[in-house]
Amino acid sequence: MVTKDTQNYTFLTEEHLMIQGAARDFAQNEIAPIAAEFDESGEFPMQTIKKMGQMGFMGIEVPEEYGGAGMDTLAYVLALEEICKADASHGTIMSVNNSLFCHGILKFGTEEQKHKYVGGVARGEKIGAYSLTEPMSGSDAGTMKSRAVKNGDGYVINGRKSWVTSGPVADYILVFTMTDAERGHNGISAFLIDGDTPGLIRGKKEPKLGIRASATSELVFEDCRVPASALLGKEGEGFKIAMTVLDAGRIGIASQALGIAEAAYAASVGYVREREAFGQPIGQFQGTAFKIADMKTRIEAARALIHNAALAKMRAKDSGERYTLEASMAKLFASETAMFVAHHAVQIHGGMGYSKELPVERYFRDAKITEIYEGTSEIQRMVIARMETGLR
């Protein structure tokens, strides 16, 4: 079921439409057929992730000189949306590699760090992860308990990180930890850590409601020694790096949410045309028709906010301005749209919406995480209101 989507966006170039088409074909041919199986088993889809890397989807905005596709944020959101129409788990892995890992290193890393860490991840040969959250600090990210203590020419890290996307399999991890607890936010530093560093232990894998093929785990640091060259940016800059990178990440999660919403919507339009009750297609009942209208309208509003945020990020490349507001609005609205649309999609499908025989129940389970990770809806509202009022 193809629904009218990006035709009105005249700022999209041939190149944008090309990557959108390539991602759509790949997603429908290679990912959609295996999505239910990987959701059921919870296995990490390494093979398709590697193929996505070969297609350039793991480093869309990474300049070619660092091994990426050298495209812009619009290309990224279009491709990610298509992947997520087929499977949000693949989308999560893609989004972390692109925006939380590669983007952070390109923005804050030294030449040496860029050359060492970005290429493999952008080509899908390596998996990147971003580790901010801890068991007792999620939304209040500035209150983390893990510590990195200077020792000789390096640091020794101790503590427990949680909810790390791709944690069980990541080759490289961007970790945020306290180097000077007395300075609060300004005492947090960012480190780039190789996955095989002694003292870095993969902790419990989370048994999740949705995005089950995207592996999420704790990471435990026990006297984990890293060299001074592992520092990303300067000591004490970690919180701002984490927040800056999350601004980019949130645009990705908004696109993921849009992809899930579109898949749930397309299934619903097909179903209301065909399924009959009381002598007519159920789409002719006003109660169903109004649901379809609201689903479509919210999807298109989410798309507009996402394109707006992508354009703001592209402008920021030259101006250096923040696009926090645009990113948070896109993530807030798109994720709540995904949940709204998936909820209606299940209801429209009735019993079939509740069955694993159709993907609609998976869309419903996958949609929920978009309102939680990379900043809950409540955090997005807080960010938006603070930016608008200047009040805290």
**Residues with catalytic roles:** 374
| Region of 163-171, 268-276, 295-303, 345-353 interacting with ligand CAA (CB under 6 A) | 163-171
Among 17, 243, 304, 352, binds ligand CAA (CB under 6 A): 243
Question: Which among 192, 165, 169, 351 is positioned nearest to 252, based on CA atoms?
Answer: 165
CB under 8 Å, gap of 24 or more: what pairs does 347-352 form? Answer: 347/291, 348/268, 348/271, 348/272, 348/282, 348/288, 348/291, 349/267, 349/268, 349/271, 352/271
- The structure tokens listed for 46 are 């390494």
Please tell me the distance from the alpha carbon of residue 31 to that of residue 25, in angstroms, as a whole number: 10
Is 203 a binding residue for ligand CAA by CB under 6 A? The answer is no
239 is an interface residue for ligand CAA by CB under 6 A: yes
For ligand CAA, the closer of residues 211 and 224 by Cβ is 211
Minimum Å distance from CB 341 to ligand CAA?
22
Label residue 320 left, alpha or beta by phi (over 0 means left) and psi (-120 to 50 means alpha): left
User: What number of chain residues touch ligand CAA (CB under 6 A)?
Assistant: 26
Please pick, from the candidates 133, 146, 179, 217, the single residue that binds ligand CAA as defined by CB under 6 A: 133
User: Interface with ligand CAA includes 244 (CB under 6 A)?
Assistant: yes
Interacting positions 96-115 with ligand CAA (CB under 6 A) = 96, 100
CA gyration radius, the chain: 21
CB of 332 to ligand CAA, least distance (A): 12
Amino acid at 160: R
CB of 86 to ligand CAA, least distance (A): 20
Binding mask 138-157 for ligand CAA (x = CB under 6 A): -x-xx---------------
Binding to ligand CAA by CB under 6 A, coded x per residue (else -) over 41-70, reads ------------------------------
23/141 with CB nearer ligand CAA:
141
Using alpha carbons, list the distances in angstroms from residue 125 to 59, 68, 129, 238, 272.
11, 12, 14, 27, 42
Q: Which residues does 281 contact at the CB level (< 8 Å), separation at least 6?
A: 272, 273, 274, 275
**What letter does residue 43 receive in the DSSP assignment?**
-
Residue of 73, 97, 165, 255 that binds ligand CAA (CB under 6 A) = 165
Nearest distance, CB of residue 139 and ligand CAA, angstroms? 5
Q: Quick check: helix, strand or coil at residue 167?
A: coil
C-beta neighbour count of 274 within 10 angstroms: 10
Instruction: Name the minimum Å distance from CB 242 to ligand CAA.
Output: 8
Could you tell me where the beta strands, DSSP code E, fall in 179-251?
Answer: 188-194, 200-205, 216-227, 231-232
- Asked if 335 interacts with ligand CAA (CB under 6 A), we say no
Using DSSP, state whether 207 is helix, strand or coil.
Answer: coil
Residue placing its CB nearer to ligand CAA in the complex, 51 or 185: 185
Establish if 373 lies at the interface with ligand CAA (CB under 6 A): yes
Among 235, 262, 371, 374, binds ligand CAA (CB under 6 A): 374
- The number of CA neighbours under 13 Å toward the Cβ of 225 is 5
Residue closer to ligand CAA, measured from CB, 19 or 316: 316
How, if at all, do strands 216-227 and 128-131 pair?
Answer: unpaired
Interacting residues toward ligand CAA by CB under 6 A: 96, 100, 130, 132-133, 139, 141-142, 163-165, 185, 239-240, 243-244, 246-247, 322, 324, 373-375, 379, 382-383
